[in-house]
Structure 1
Amino acid sequence: MASAPRPSPVSFLLRLLSSHPSLTTAIHAALLKSSSLSSPHNPIPATALLTAYANAGLAGAASRLFDEMPARDAVAWNALIACLVRHARPEAAAAAFHGMAGSGFPPTAATLCTMLKACAVSRAFRPGRQLHARSVVSCHGDVIMDTALVDLYMSCGLVKDAMRVFMLTKGPKDAALYNAVLSGCVENGWFREAFSMLRCTVLNGISLASALTACSATANLAYGMQVHCKALRCGFDSDTIVSNALIDMYSKCGRAMGARMVFDLMAGRNVVSWSSMIGAYSRHGLGVDALDLFQRMEKDAPMVTPNAITFLSVLSACGHSGLVDEGRSMLHLMKSKYRIDPKPEHYVCLIDMLGRAGQIDEAWNLYCSLTASQNKCSSAICVAMLNACRANMDVLRGKKVAAHLLEIDPRNPGIHVLIANFHSAIRQWSESDESRKGIVKKGLRKEAASSHVSLG
């Protein structure tokens, strides 16, 4: 009886490479020893190894391996381009794209989709349009290509172009295409179109989260509750991303208790869940509840580590509730226990907190220390200090901050308005008028105010 043929060593190594990426370096050495990488007729082993290096985050090693390949096919070129795009090297990807064509390999649908992704990330709509023209010639009715095109145009703010691609898609539209349109409409503020799209698409976690983001942005509680019901009916109530979006929606629609109900029913919570719920309490001025929840997070969720956003929410909650001592403790805890370096926005919260509490001297000392460190001071910190001076009628310090603001952000019309308001608060009417006239003299233009309207 004849025995079954034994698999070749190269086939065994390639299977091992796909199942054990940590062995990439060792398998590379074995493939070199077997001379498999030097074959002028079989680029498959080298391409598989290149992909493994790319997946391991070693873009340099992948590029060097490609340069050493004696034989390359379209698959190898696509693997290199995908590696470069994945590791945020768009210029190198573009060079490889042109090199592929120069080597006699016309771009495939996979090539074009990868390059469209690179254009979307860098918002390069002109090269993207050129790729679109190529796709019309080579890829007829490809839903994956159309999804990449929609993502490109949405990323560049060209919603009408994206919708046109969607409407002209031939054949069945899949969930990925619907989600690209839905999330793109939300990101670009086309909320009515997003709600309309939701009625057409097959619901999944991405579409539900996008719809809830639209409800949050428009403070549309009625529609948000409908989406919540759909999530429950479709079994997405245990989806962490959807639950986090529900917490945010209820919070921004003025329903802190609704947010807490969703939070309490979550089977698994991540740092976004805890931060969102703490932020909900902060938004509603419930500083004590925010602190209690933070302490519960430290006690009951030891595997979830608070991040900079978590502390920003806690500091904001303390500031809006007058919990100055607790706010100071949070900033110290952030640095000492969790080794998180406070960003300007954290210091903005602290200065605002001290200003609200009338502790202007401490706020000023903090502001001066931040000003001395150029990499920590920002216009937002100066604005917070100016508001603190206005609240405490500190004329001398306020004028110094105003002068500093004009030095670091002279072309911002909002800064001139804030300074004018400061002078009005301290009853220096002529200086206030001069600040407002400065907007006109310098040709600055303040953005018109806007508000969200419920879409019903």
Structure 2
Amino acid sequence: MMQRPPSHLLSLKNRPLNSWNAMIQTSIANGFFSESLDLYSSMLSYGTNGDNFTFPSVAKACAKLRSIRDGIKVHAHTVLLGFQSHVFVQTSLVDMYSKCSHLEDSRQVFDEMPMRTLVSWNSIISAYSHHLRTLESFGLFGEMRSLGTKPSSSTLVGLVSSCTDSGRCSSVHCYGIKVGFDSDLRFSNSVMNMYVRLGMLDDATSLFDSMERRSNVSWSILIDGYAGVGDGVKVFALFNRMRRDLVELDSVAFVGLVSQCAQFEGLSATYSVHGLLIKSGFDREPKLAASTVAMYARRNDLVSARKVFDSVEEKDVSLWTSMIGGYVRHGRSLEALDLFQELLRTTVKPNEVTVITILSACADFGLLSMGEKVEEYVTAAGFGSDLRVCTSLIHMYCKCGCVERAKEIFDGVSSKDLAAWSAMIKGYACHGRGREALALFEEMKKEGLLIKPDAIMFTEILSACSHSGLVEEGLRCFESMERDFGVEPNVKHYSCVVDLLARAGHFDCAAKLVERLPARAQGQAWAPLLSASGAHWGVTFEKLRSEEEAQTTGNYVMMSNIFASLAKWKEATWFRRLVDHGGFVKEPGWSRIL
């Protein structure tokens, strides 16, 4: 920040301090935060020091840029120039440290302030609330009141954002009513948003109905609340109420409405909402167009989705990503890849979500060459440190058979989460490399990470053991699930263990395990036993005839095929007739041909 000023600023050499302050404030007001710091740097290089108007502005620029390095320098300047007791300057530093995620430094500045105003208290309370430090924010609120500082509605708005339970939620609301803030629209909206966030929709609706004034934000908060729980009927009812009350519609209100169209059967609701978007003039807005594309894609109407996409002239990255994601979701990955290549020919730059989506398409079709090109873009665009992107690359390379390259990417990730570990373990499992999968699982546990294996990871581990014949290791893993990690085994885990035992020839043990399962789970667990039994069909034949839970179409067809391979035509015919004449429906198979 203390570098020589740019050449276009050299004409500012003889400017007075108030002129510098005006330029810095104007730059910040226009959102040019980096330029504001350049101006401040230039001012210092010409021998002009800041004052109580300069430092709050520059601290705000540091906060907006999340630049703690520059923020610390600004703080040092305030101390050197004797502004450590100026309440307005120090309050701006409290806010700056909080916005830069240095809460302890923010609190230290606050504690060292010789005098505090209401704004100072609001800043530190909001800082703790922003970091979800509820106890500390309420403690500060109590301390402020005990020292005789009267809270404002902004104080309560700061408190509201940290509430994590209904008790504190209601107490803040009641206190606000008591001191007369119930007519403050910002306070009411904040409380209503808090109720929605905590799932207290009845309380949110009661507050909404009691409000004398409502803004578009008020309507949007409640619409988003019901949209979040999938209550499409309430969403549409609120939207119609907005129209009856002649509330001016905005794009935010439409977002919740568009997201709920999938709750209704048929496309009539979808077409109605799209028509209203067109009538209201929001159909060409990229963000809403992206939601509309996603709406049609969820209803499997990709033709309409593409028409909406093509109708928008100035497409943003969210619109491109939404259309690409629609193709991927419905297995039309080649069209997704074509659209991605078209995107690369525009001035719009794909973001991390776009990359993750297209990598999924590459994985589905095993398109290694395309996946490698996407990785080149990831490196060029600087997304290589994004954990979600790295996990998607690991998954793609594993699906394309390049397990070693996947491991290279995995090893290069510094802070791995559960998804990254699972992707690599699944990659080993899919390629029958059970020992590597187990070794990686053990490595994860030995590193002492705060990562708890979930049900999906145990499914992959058990599958890896099954396909690699690691019976003892698989059984130990199965036993440790609930005992060591609190993961309750489900039917998939039992099926993996049945498959593990059956592949190793332990048919009696596998059959006994199936018998111990709940009735609704037995039908699925029989499948791996039947598949593995082959020549040992006698172990399962009588069970299959007597166990109602095992009598499924898939199991009958499998047994018919087993008997046919053993030239036991009578038994094969018996099972085939059960499928043909017993009211069972065989689901058709399907495949993709490139």
In the alignment, residue 319 of structure 1 is paired with which amino acid?
A: S
Deviation at 1:407, TM superposition (A): 6.6
Residue in structure 1 matching 2:512, options 353, 362, 365: 365
Aligned-partner Cα distance in 1 for 2:536–2:550: 22
8 Å CA contact 1:354, 1:362 repeated in 2: yes
Residue in structure 2 matching 1:94, options 236, 246, 254: 236
The yes-or-no answer on 1:218 pairing with 2:375 is no
Counting only pairs closer than 5 Å after superposition, residues 281-300 of structure 1 correspond to structure 2 as 281-300=428-447
The yes-or-no answer on 1:199 pairing with 2:332 is no
8 Å CA contact 1:356, 1:391 repeated in 2: no
Deviation at 1:270, TM superposition (A): 0.6
Task: Go from structure 1 to structure 2 and tell me whether the alpha carbon gap of 1:365 and 1:437 turns closer, same or farther (over 3 Å shift).
Answer: closer
Task: Go from structure 1 to structure 2 and tell me whether the alpha carbon gap of 1:341 and 1:284 turns closer, same or farther (over 3 Å shift).
Answer: same
The yes-or-no answer on 1:385 pairing with 2:532 is no
| More divergent stretch after superposition (308-317 vs 115-124) | 115-124
In the alignment, residue 480 of structure 2 is paired with which amino acid?
A: L
Counting only pairs closer than 5 Å after superposition, residues 19-58 of structure 1 correspond to structure 2 as 20-21=162-163, 24-37=169-182, 39=183, 43-58=185-200
Deviation at 1:138, TM superposition (A): 0.4
Aligned-partner Cα distance in 1 for 2:574–2:306: 47
In the alignment, residue 384 of structure 1 is paired with which amino acid?
A: P
Percentage of matched positions with identical amino acids: 26
Normalising by the residue count of structure 2, what TM-score does the alignment of the two structures yield?
Answer: 0.69
The residue number in structure 2 matching 1:150 is 293
The residue number in structure 1 matching 2:31 is none
The yes-or-no answer on 1:245 pairing with 2:386 is no
8 Å CA contact 1:354, 1:360 repeated in 2: yes
Residue in structure 2 matching 1:433, options 562, 566, 573: 573
Residue in structure 1 matching 2:303, options 160, 164, 170: 160
Task: Go from structure 1 to structure 2 and tell me whether the alpha carbon gap of 1:452 and 1:289 turns closer, same or farther (over 3 Å shift).
Answer: farther
Higher RCO (C-alpha under 8 Å, 6+ residues apart) = 1
In the alignment, residue 230 of structure 1 is paired with which amino acid?
A: Y
| More divergent stretch after superposition (103-112 vs 158-167) | 103-112
Aligned-partner Cα distance in 2 for 1:60–1:374: 39
Coordinate RMSD, CA, aligned: 2.7
The residue number in structure 1 matching 2:499 is 352
Deviation at 1:399, TM superposition (A): 4.1
Which 5+ residue runs of structure 1 have no aligned equivalent? none
Aligned-partner Cα distance in 1 for 2:160–2:310: 39
In the alignment, residue 157 of structure 1 is paired with which amino acid?
A: N
Residue in structure 2 matching 1:76, options 218, 223, 234: 218
Deviation at 1:100, TM superposition (A): 3.1
8 Å CA contact 1:51, 1:62 repeated in 2: yes
Deviation at 1:12, TM superposition (A): 2.2
CA offsets 1:317-350 (integer angstroms, 9 cap, x no match): 1101111111110011101011111110111110
Deviation at 1:168, TM superposition (A): 0.7
Deviation at 1:74, TM superposition (A): 3.9
| More divergent stretch after superposition (45-54 vs 321-330) | 45-54
Compare CA radii of gyration and give the structure with the larger one: 2
The residue number in structure 1 matching 2:131 is none
Aligned-partner Cα distance in 1 for 2:249–2:542: 61
Task: Go from structure 1 to structure 2 and tell me whether the alpha carbon gap of 1:220 and 1:26 turns closer, same or farther (over 3 Å shift).
Answer: same
The yes-or-no answer on 1:331 pairing with 2:475 is no
In the alignment, residue 173 of structure 2 is paired with which amino acid?
A: H
CA offsets 1:370-411 (integer angstroms, 9 cap, x no match): 1xx235x143212122223x33513252342266467764xx
CA offsets 1:99-144 (integer angstroms, 9 cap, x no match): 3334443644322221111224677643122111111100242222
Deviation at 1:443, TM superposition (A): 8.3
8 Å CA contact 1:420, 1:432 repeated in 2: yes
Aligned-partner Cα distance in 1 for 2:335–2:378: 20
8 Å CA contact 1:319, 1:352 repeated in 2: yes
The yes-or-no answer on 1:311 pairing with 2:458 is yes
Aligned-partner Cα distance in 2 for 1:28–1:405: 57
8 Å CA contact 1:406, 1:415 repeated in 2: no
Which 5+ residue runs of structure 2 have no aligned equivalent? 1-87, 89-116, 120-149, 344-348
Q: How many residues align?
A: 439
In the alignment, residue 385 of structure 1 is paired with which amino acid?
A: L
In the alignment, residue 185 of structure 1 is paired with which amino acid?
A: Y
Task: Go from structure 1 to structure 2 and tell me whether the alpha carbon gap of 1:142 and 1:62 turns closer, same or farther (over 3 Å shift).
Answer: same
Task: Go from structure 1 to structure 2 and tell me whether the alpha carbon gap of 1:238 and 1:51 turns closer, same or farther (over 3 Å shift).
Answer: same
8 Å CA contact 1:186, 1:194 repeated in 2: yes
8 Å CA contact 1:17, 1:49 repeated in 2: no
8 Å CA contact 1:120, 1:151 repeated in 2: no
Aligned-partner Cα distance in 2 for 1:292–1:382: 30
Normalising by the residue count of structure 1, what TM-score does the alignment of the two structures yield?
Answer: 0.88
3-state secondary structure, aligned to 2:237: helix
In the alignment, residue 315 of structure 1 is paired with which amino acid?
A: L
Aligned-partner Cα distance in 2 for 1:349–1:136: 52
The yes-or-no answer on 1:451 pairing with 2:592 is yes
The residue number in structure 1 matching 2:563 is 423
Aligned-partner Cα distance in 2 for 1:446–1:12: 61
